[in-house]
Amino acid sequence: MNEMPLWEIFIRSQHGLAHKHVGSLHASDAAMAINNARDVYTRRSEGVSIWAVRSTDIVASAPGDKGPLFEPANSKAYRHPTFYDIPDEVGHM
Amino acid sequence: MTADDAATEYLLRLGDNCLILGHRLSEWVGHAPVLEEDLGLANVALDLLGQAQHWLGLAAELEGEGRDADWFAFRRDAGEFRNALLVEQPNGDFAHTMARQLYFDLWHVPLLANLENSMHAGIAGIAAKAHKEARYHLERSGDWVIRLGDGTEESHRRMQEAINELWNFTGELFESDAVEEVLAAEGVAADAGRIAASWRKRLGDILTEATLDLPQENWMRHGGRRGIHSEHLGFLLAEMQFLQRAYPDARW
Amino acid sequence: MYAQMVKTSGDKVKTPDEMTAQERAFQARIDADIKIEPKDWMPESYRKTLIRQISQHAHSEIVGMLPEGNWITRAPTLKRKAILLAKVQDEGGHGLYLYCAAETLGISREEMTEALLCGKAKYSSIFNYPTLTWADIGAVGWLVDGAAIMNQVPLQRCSYGPYSRAMIRVCKEESFHQRQGFDIMMAMVKGSNEQKAMAQDALNRWWWPSLMMFGPSDDTSVHSAQSKQWKIKINSNDELRQKFVDQTVPQADYLGLSVPDPALKWNEDHGHYDFGAIDWDEFFTVIKGHGPCNRERLRARTRAHEEGRWVRDATLAYAAKHADKAHSRPDAWIN
């Protein structure tokens, strides 16, 4: 699917604080992700630090207990369908 | 002309450029190619409208006739506007909008950098804030022109067309006249002609990276700062000024 | 509401005996106000219902940019222009947060956009009405945002983490939206006779559609019980609608405007306003696509999407060509 990838955005709003996850957005590359993050999540305020990470690059731990409440097997953060590479031969999924 | 008259005139030029360009960009909101860009364009528009309010407000102060920024924005006819022809051109497609923006931002950034050193404290103050904003605008417009120029065949074609079509409006940005001479002598503003060479060099670098050709035509369109505008400004103002003209005594 | 009549997937609400162990554990978390996060196990019907609800909410924000965006180029002062532009920008931002929240559940923005543009996905009925005067911008901020806030504040506590966090962000930004609308109305009712008449006319046209925003009475909706149990719907439609009327009528009184409802009357016994019957035919007509602006709204969004395709494609092509390049931009051309 020819779609812009999803990025997770982390903002340090003041000196001394750690970056905090504020949400996601779409962008085609890193420069655009940073600029978009500035426009979407800081609305032009100066002096903030922005980290942008492709959502597919995030490796996550499995939620807490091994029991009926966790999705086994993969380490991606979301269920996003385009995270999973379906071979073209399989067709639309 | 007196230094104050020249300064008022100059401030109106600055303010009108920001106002008209900000207005044009605001037309995109709700219609941009991608949602993130609706927000990005709105930010640039908001910055420019803010700058317009400051420049026009200062012009009103200097003029000393009890007018304000709103009066300048909503009660002058097209012949009294001093913006460059470039900024009143219609948005066209996204490539046109970005070409217009790049041409403007490349000029705006060094201009504002100069004005930060103005002997007039009011001008220097406004310019300092505007300069920071303009640098960000230039990052955006430069990035877009490069991406679209070096994107697909279609985007390349559209971007080149836009660069070509708007080229003839760029010369006006560097015109010098008596107003600027008086202000340069007072240390209030710098001559825009002095930034023409570096503007052209930087533009050349960006277009090269964008795999686009720098237009070569020498003839340029003029008239904006003398109030001789293109046909577009009349329509723009008719829309923008309607309420204040239809209800002249109303407060909103 | 921005997400009206969301069809809850699945059958009737299960009793604990009817649930599997997984379902019981899931419900226990919700009952204990422990948030459900994207990779937690969830019933498929919960996931589907949330996708529908969150995306409908997002679509409403995006389409909602159009009736107000209409007046940015005609705003009567520089201050009003900037405020309206900032508000419409916020709405775009809200749509963006919500699309991203929905994406955590396994749907893409492109899929959601296509569903909207082909008419499959709905958006709030209110945005199918035209903004005909500047007073409409005041009325929309005052009434429509007022109604939206009523729904959004409780949703900050909803069970799904990403949705709840998106709503917290939305609510923080929403505070000025209703105030700016009311401020516009105040300026108009204090103004000329023409302005006062404009304000009254706007209230006359926006009042009933605003009441319809809350959706039909809950007894006509079979599935809201499940959504309530899952804590993705917090209050009933009628509750919110009554709260809205009770809050807004005194505001109209303050403005010196009359609410266009001859049956409106303070009920001392119940401590609420009684109000007249809503024309649900109008509501369903609009939902079906036959409201005043349905076509124009979808046409505008379709145009933006299609005319923007070459831009989106270009950015992807550029990114692919320069995948190896580190993010750099020659500072030379900014300084």
Closest CA to B124 of B112, B132, B136, B133: B112
Chain B residue with minimal CA distance to A36? Answer: B36
Calculate how close chain B gets to A8, using CA atoms only, in Å.
Answer: 14
Residues C45/A69, Cβ–Cβ less than 8 Å: no
| pLDDT for C321 | 94
Please name each of the domains of chain B with its CATH number: 3-246 (1.20.1260.10)
Q: Which residues pair with C160 in a beta bridge?
A: C36
Nearest alpha carbon to residue B94 among B140, B134, B46, B48 = B140
The closest CB to that of A6, out of C25, C103, C319, belongs to C103
Please check whether residue A53 touches C, CB under 8 A.
no
Interface membership of C85 toward B (CB under 8 Å)? yes
d(CA B38, CA C207): 30
Amino acid C333: pLDDT: 54
How far apart are the C-alpha atoms of C116 and C113, rounded to whole Å?
Answer: 5
Residue pair B39/A38 in contact by the 8 Å Cβ criterion: no
Show which subunits contact B, needing at least 3 CB pairs below 8 angstroms: A, C
Q: A6-60, what's its fold? A: Ubiquitin-like (UB roll) (3.10.20)
What pTM value is reported for the model? 0.94
Question: At which residue do the structure tokens 């569903």 appear?
Answer: C115
| Residue A74 region by backbone torsions, left for phi larger than 0, else alpha for psi between -120 and 50, else beta | beta
**Which chain B residues contact residue C95 at CB under 8 A?**
35
Question: ∠ CA B138-B140-B142 to the nearest 5 degrees?
Answer: 65
CB of B82 within 8 A of CB of B231? Answer: no
Q: Are strands C272-274 and C265-267 parallel, antiparallel or unpaired?
A: antiparallel
Radius of gyration of chain C (CA): 22
Interchain CB distance below 8 Å, C78 and B39: no
Residues B73-94 have pLDDT tens digits of 999 999 999 999 999 999 999 9
CA dihedral for C308, C311, C314, C315, sign (positive or negative): negative
User: Are C41 and A68 an interchain contact pair (Cβ–Cβ within 8 Å)?
Assistant: yes
Output the pLDDT for position C325: 65
Could you give the ipTM of this predicted complex? Answer: 0.97
Residue A90 has a pLDDT of 47
A14 near C CB under 8 A: no
CB contact under 8 A, B205 and C333: yes
Contacts of B36 in chain C (CB under 8 A): 96
Segments in chain B below pLDDT 50: none
Chain centroid to CA B106: 10
Q: Between chains, do A31 and B46 touch, taking CB under 8 Å as contact?
A: no
Structure tokens at C270: 């119940």
Q: Give me the mean pLDDT over the A48-56 stretch.
A: 92
DSSP letter string, B81-149: ----HHHHS---SHHHHHHHHHHHHHHHHHHHHHHTT-SSHHHHHHHHHHHHHHHHHHHHHHHHHHHHH
Residues written for chain B: 252
**Burial (0-12, 13-18, 19+ Cβ within 10 Å), A67:** exposed
- Residues C193-233 pLDDT 10s: 999 999 999 999 999 999 999 999 877 766 688 999 999 99
Closest CA to C94 of C127, C119, C61: C61
Is C39 in contact with A68 (Cβ distance < 8 A)? Answer: no
Of A4, A31, A39, the CB nearest to B40: A39
With CA atoms as reference, report the closest residue to B10 among B179, B205, B210, B251.
B179
Which element (helix H / strand E) includes B73? helix B69-75
For chain C, residues with pLDDT lower than 70 are 1, 11, 221-223, 325-335
Q: What's the token pair of residue B120?
A: 């007039």
Rounded-to-integer distance, Cα C126 and Cα C64, Å: 8
Is C311 within 8 Å of chain A by CB?
Answer: no
Quick one: tokens of B190?
């710098």
- What's the Cα-to-Cα distance from B107 to each of B101, B112, B170, C200, rounded to whole Å? 10, 9, 9, 48
CB < 8 Å to B94, chain C: 308, 311
Return the exposure string of B138-147: e unless at least 16 CB atoms fall within 10 Å of the residue's CB, then b. Answer: bbbbbbbbbb
Strand partners, A11: A20, A50
Chain A hits for C100, Cβ within 8 Å: 6, 23-25
Other beta carbons within 10 angstroms of residue B50's beta carbon come to 18
Which residue type does B93 have?
D
Would you call C285 helix, strand, or coil by DSSP?
helix
Q: Are C25 and C84 in contact (CB under 8 A)?
A: no
| Domain residue extents for chain A | 6-60
Rounded to whole angstroms, what are the CA distances from C62 to C53, C104, C207, C242? 15, 19, 22, 27
Tell me which of C17 and A92 has the higher pLDDT.
C17
Query: How far apart, in whole angstroms, are the C-alpha atoms of residue A42 and residue B241?
Result: 32
- Is residue A24 within 8 Å of C100, Cβ to Cβ? yes
Cα nearest neighbour of C41 on chain A: A69
